[in-house]
Amino acid sequence: MALFRLCVTAVAGVAVGQLLSINDLSWFGVLGQGVGALSHDDAIPPQAQVIDQRSFNVLYSASPLSDPDGNAQFSPPGTTRESLVGRPFHIYDEEFLDIIGPNPTLTLLNHTESDPIFHEAPVWYPAKDEMFFVQNAGAKAAGTGLAKSAIIQKISLSTVTPAIASQRNASGSVKVEAVNSIPSVMNPNGATNYKGQLLFLGEGQGETTAPAMYLMNPEPPYNTTVILDNFFGRQFNSLNDASINPRNGEIYFTDPTYGYVQDFRPPPGMPKQVWRFNEATGAVAVAADGFNMPNGIAFSPNGAHLYVADTGMAQAFYGSNFSFPSTIYRYNVNEDGTLENRKTFAFVTPGVPDGLHLDTKGNVYVGCGDGMQVYNPSGKLVGKIYTGSVSANFQFAGEGRMVVLAETELYFVTLAAEGAFPGRLY
């Protein structure tokens, strides 16, 4: 049934004026009426649209290699930025219909002029139904800069009523509160649920404040305890993100050099690696190497796979290098916790694949340069939740809800999928 619905409405993604062959018409069905035909079919949710990838297989106008721009937004022929934002759930494959359900919504909850206060480390605290997140540590547009970057914030999801979620722009209707962690998490960048508390990864500051892993009490007074800050006496580069292996409870984490390329940490003194930490025994060990910038990291719900994003294309103050990875890799996770069979899972554009999270069915969601892109477990792009701007990270809040951090914008999403939370098991 879903396939039929998709077929009869797919024509909306076709360029105006593009000639359709007989085969095209049978694929689209005779109902195709060009752009705008969607409004006649209630099977496609009101905030969704089909993007037909065949409409841009041949462009004659792709940007030359002498002027590459892996950060540029791409509008398929027949669409505009406005039409893409207008119906932000982009169906690339019918599988996406089950993920978004009949009435997905995207709502702007707050925004700033230029200060990137909605950046990373979104983590849900189910007991109080709150979403915590952090500001951008190194960005030049960050108001008071690094002094402000230690600020963790939160919103109460119970205050996001259905009436609010039904609006596209509900800016200002939900309170954004600062959380003063004590002692402060220094330049937090990643977070995950761990043993009923929140685990933050701090990037460190200057020569002497080492990157560290902090456990934070999710209740006032938000006291923290550092649980790791070195490997046999050597500082990490700038800890970025973590995920809990649901089979052995160990913390797997990434250590790129974003502190250095944003001028708040010294030059790298370690390879850029994925590590694992067994808090019970204290053992720290490398889990994988061979990255340019290991970044987002997430286990599949059953722990059989580990996904790691490499955002090497983004070198922060050193610009973008479009011949570097913008890539998600997938490993098989062995029973003993070792990783093998690194597979190239997805190459992403525009921007880089940053925060990674999975739903309970194993679909992979990733924060990219144009919003969240959603890949099925075979690495097929099935859809996008399109914001039209850099959306570094996001997080599920259980079933059917998601919070998206798009630097100067904070969004709330409703959809059918449910987030997988390996970290809650430990």
Q: Establish if 167 lies at the interface with ligand NAG (CB under 6 A).
A: no
Q: Establish if 217 lies at the interface with ligand NAG (CB under 6 A).
A: yes
Q: Establish if 111 lies at the interface with ligand NAG (CB under 6 A).
A: yes
CA–centroid distance for 180 within its chain: 25
Interacting positions 325-384 with ligand NAG (CB under 6 A): none
Q: Establish if 171 lies at the interface with ligand NAG (CB under 6 A).
A: yes
Q: Establish if 68 lies at the interface with ligand NAG (CB under 6 A).
A: no
Under 8 Å between Cβ of 85 and 386: yes
Q: Establish if 224 lies at the interface with ligand NAG (CB under 6 A).
A: yes
Stretch that binds ligand NAG, among 71-79, 107-115, 283-291, 347-355 (CB under 6 A): 107-115
Minimum CB distance to ligand NAG, residue 188 (Å): 14
Q: Establish if 175 lies at the interface with ligand NAG (CB under 6 A).
A: yes
Looking at the Cβ atoms of 213 and 287, the one nearer to ligand NAG is 213
- Reading the block at residue 314, the tokens are 């983004």
Three state DSSP letters for the chain = CHHHHHHHHHHHHCCCCCCCCHHHHHHHCCCCCCCCHHHHCCCCCCCEEECCHHHHCCCCCCCCCCCCCCCCCCCCCCCCHHHHHHCCEEECCCHHHHHHCCCCEEEEEEECCCCCCECEEEEEEHHHCEEEEECCCCCCCCCCCHHHHCCEEEEEHHHCCHHHHCCCECCCCCCCEEECCECCCCCEEEEEEECCEEEEEECCECCCECCEEEEECCCCCCEEEEEECCECCECCCCCCCEEECCCCCCEEEEECCHHHHCCCCCCCCCCCEEEEEECCCCEEEEEECCCCCEEEEEECCCCCEEEEEECCCECHHHCECCCCCCEEEEEEECCCCCEEEEEEEEECCCCCCCCEEEECCCCEEEEECCEEEEECCCCCEEEEEECCCCCCEEEECCEEEEEEEEECEEEEEEEEEEECCHHHHC
Looking at the Cβ atoms of 172 and 269, the one nearer to ligand NAG is 172
Q: Establish if 81 lies at the interface with ligand NAG (CB under 6 A).
A: no
Minimum CB distance to ligand NAG, residue 170 (Å): 8
Looking at the Cβ atoms of 197 and 278, the one nearer to ligand NAG is 197
Minimum CB distance to ligand NAG, residue 400 (Å): 23
Looking at the Cβ atoms of 284 and 316, the one nearer to ligand NAG is 316
Minimum CB distance to ligand NAG, residue 80 (Å): 15
Looking at the Cβ atoms of 312 and 337, the one nearer to ligand NAG is 312
- Residue choice 55, 107, 110, 254 for contact with ligand NAG (CB under 6 A): 110
Minimum CB distance to ligand NAG, residue 102 (Å): 25
Looking at the Cβ atoms of 118 and 275, the one nearer to ligand NAG is 118
Q: Establish if 103 lies at the interface with ligand NAG (CB under 6 A).
A: no
Neighbouring residues of 394: CB distance < 8 A, sequence distance ≥ 6: 122, 355, 357, 365, 367, 372, 402, 403, 404, 405, 413
Q: Establish if 71 lies at the interface with ligand NAG (CB under 6 A).
A: no
Q: Establish if 225 lies at the interface with ligand NAG (CB under 6 A).
A: yes
Looking at the Cβ atoms of 223 and 344, the one nearer to ligand NAG is 223
Minimum CB distance to ligand NAG, residue 367 (Å): 19
Q: Establish if 140 lies at the interface with ligand NAG (CB under 6 A).
A: no
Q: Establish if 223 lies at the interface with ligand NAG (CB under 6 A).
A: yes
Looking at the Cβ atoms of 39 and 223, the one nearer to ligand NAG is 223
Q: Establish if 197 lies at the interface with ligand NAG (CB under 6 A).
A: yes
Looking at the Cβ atoms of 93 and 409, the one nearer to ligand NAG is 409
Closest CA to 28 of 49, 17, 13, 43: 13
Stretch that binds ligand NAG, among 29-37, 140-148, 166-174, 201-209 (CB under 6 A): 166-174
Q: How many residues does the chain have?
A: 426
Under 8 Å between Cβ of 202 and 239: yes
Size of the site for ligand NAG (CB under 6 A): 18
Looking at the Cβ atoms of 82 and 340, the one nearer to ligand NAG is 82
Residues 319, 338: Cα–Cα separation, whole Å: 34
Residue ranges binding ligand NAG (CB under 6 A): 108, 110-111, 169, 171-172, 175-176, 197, 215-217, 223-225, 319, 321, 323
